[in-house]
């Protein structure tokens, strides 16, 4: 899943995905180096992370 797809799925901005996702506990996979580096995320990991963010009612 690309950074753009991840941002859309999470309803977050693409810059948030690049800056904050790792700090928030979402593990990125980096391909390339420098300015041309691309972040990718495993779909199953994104879904699991999103599920963990759910607030419990009560």
pLDDT digits (tens, 9 = 90+) for 3-27: 999 999 999 999 999 999 889 999 9
Positive/negative CA dihedral, 42, 47, 51, 54: positive
Burial class of residue 55 (count of CB atoms within 10 Å of its CB; 0-12, 13-18, 19+): exposed
pLDDT for res 53? 86
pTM comes to: 0.81
Residue 35: per-residue pLDDT: 84
Task: Check whether 34 has a pLDDT greater than 90.
Answer: no
Residue 56, pLDDT > 70, answer: no
Element (H, E) at 39: strand 38-40
User: How does 1-18 read in b/e, with b if 16+ C-beta sit within 10 Å?
Assistant: bebeebbeebeeeeeebe
């Amino acid at each position: 899943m690309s950074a753009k797809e991840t941002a859309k799925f999470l309803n977050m901005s693409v810059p948030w995905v690049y800056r904050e996702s790792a700090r928030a506990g979402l593990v990125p996979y980096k391909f390339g180096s420098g300015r041309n580096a691309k972040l990718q995320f495993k779909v199953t990991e994104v879904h699991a992370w999103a599920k963990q963010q759910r607030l419990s009612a009560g």
